Structure formats: structure tokens, C-alpha cells
């Protein structure tokens, strides 16, 4: 278990057995609902739940009006697209790495070298062209805001 989880997540916040977990959802008769029931989770109404599984908009309303307890989890969170969109995730990783370096935490910053060289086109086009001319090879082009492989293509020539 990582140091983050040891430091911030405490065992007493969780039920000792899966059957003690209470969930709330408006989804009925779907695979998520069936899986939760099969696991032995208890469906509840009201605010006494451990897991809330809802549409993104419903979760936003809940998070806006209610403070989550340490044992409560939701299937969506605010600004999720900052991590789930690859272009924004890389932007945030680069920003965090620069911040660590600025604070003199060079060893911690080295841990952020795991993602590939990434450019956001068209704004980074000239930098991309320089790198492409230096390294060549095959590049993966992925459109912003699409998912499930839609619109992805491979590029090995600038034309």
C-alpha cells in the first residue's frame, strides 16, 4: 500500500466485511446493480450509504449540497475530465512536475517521467514538428474529447 493510503485512509472508515457495505443507486436491473447485490451489498434509501452509484449530473448535485463522510464513495467526482481526458491529464501532470521542481523536490519530480512525450495540437505544432524531425518514428494522434479509440490514427510523415 502506498504511503498516501497509509497516511490518509484509515481502516476504521470501512466495514469489516463486504456484506456491511450499503449502496444507493437509481439504476435498477443493470450489470452494476446486479454486481453490487451479488457481492452482498445492501441497498438503502436516504443518506446512510457507503457507495453512491449515479449519473454524473446527480453526483454533482450531491457533492454540491452534501459533505461526504470518510466512509462514503461516489462513482464520479468534480472536474473528473481533468484526469479522464488525456490532454488535460498530461497538462496537469506536467504542471505538477514543474511545481515539484520549483520547490526543489527533484527526486519526487523524477517520478513524473512515466508518460510519453505529448503535444497538444495545433497550439504545440511548431514544437511537435521540431521533435518529429529529430526523432521520427510513429506517433499516435488522438483527437481531444473522444473516447473508445474513435478518431485515433498513426502518423509517420508530417504531410
- pLDDT at 94 (0 to 100): 92
With cell 450499503, the residue in question is 22
Q: Indicate the number of domains in the chain.
A: 3
**Among candidate residues 25, 52, 78, the one where a domain is terminated:** 78
Residue 50: pLDDT band by 50, 70, 90 thresholds? very high
pLDDT at 86: 83
**In the prediction, which pLDDT does 9 show?**
52
What pLDDT, on a 0 to 100 scale, did the predictor assign at position 14?
54
Q: What is the spatial distance between Cα 97 and Cα 114, in angstroms, rounded to a whole number?
A: 11
Sign (positive or negative) of CA dihedral 18, 23, 27, 28: positive
User: With 90 as the cut, is the pLDDT of residue 68 above it?
Assistant: no
84 or 51: whose pLDDT is higher? 51
Asked if 71 and 59 sit in the same domain, the reply is yes
> Are 107 and 136 contained in the same domain?
no
Share of the chain above pLDDT 70, in %: 88
End-to-end CA distance of the chain: 47
Q: What angle do CA 6, 7, 10 make, to 5 degrees?
A: 70
- The three cell numbers of residue 89 are 491529464
Amino acid at each position: 500500500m502506498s504511503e498516501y493510503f497509509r497516511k490518509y485512509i484509515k481502516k476504521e472508515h470501512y466495514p469489516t466485511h463486504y456484506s456491511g457495505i450499503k449502496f444507493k443507486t437509481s439504476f435498477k436491473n443493470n450489470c452494476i446493480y446486479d454486481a453490487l447485490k451479488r457481492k452482498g451489498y445492501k441497498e438503502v434509501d436516504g443518506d446512510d450509504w457507503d457507495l453512491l452509484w449515479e449519473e454524473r449530473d446527480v453526483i454533482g448535485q450531491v457533492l454540491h449540497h452534501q459533505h461526504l463522510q470518510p466512509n462514503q464513495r461516489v462513482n464520479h467526482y468534480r472536474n473528473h475530465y481533468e484526469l479522464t481526458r488525456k490532454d488535460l491529464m498530461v497538462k496537469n501532470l506536467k504542471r505538477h512536475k514543474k511545481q515539484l521542481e520549483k520547490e526543489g523536490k527533484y527526486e519526487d519530480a523524477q517520478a513524473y517521467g512515466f508518460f510519453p512525450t505529448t503535444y497538444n495540437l495545433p497550439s504545440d505544432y511548431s514544437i511537435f514538428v521540431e521533435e518529429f524531425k529529430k526523432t521520427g518514428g510513429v506517433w499516435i494522434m488522438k483527437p481531444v474529447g473522444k473516447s473508445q479509440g474513435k478518431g485515433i490514427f498513426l502518423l509517420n510523415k508530417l504531410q
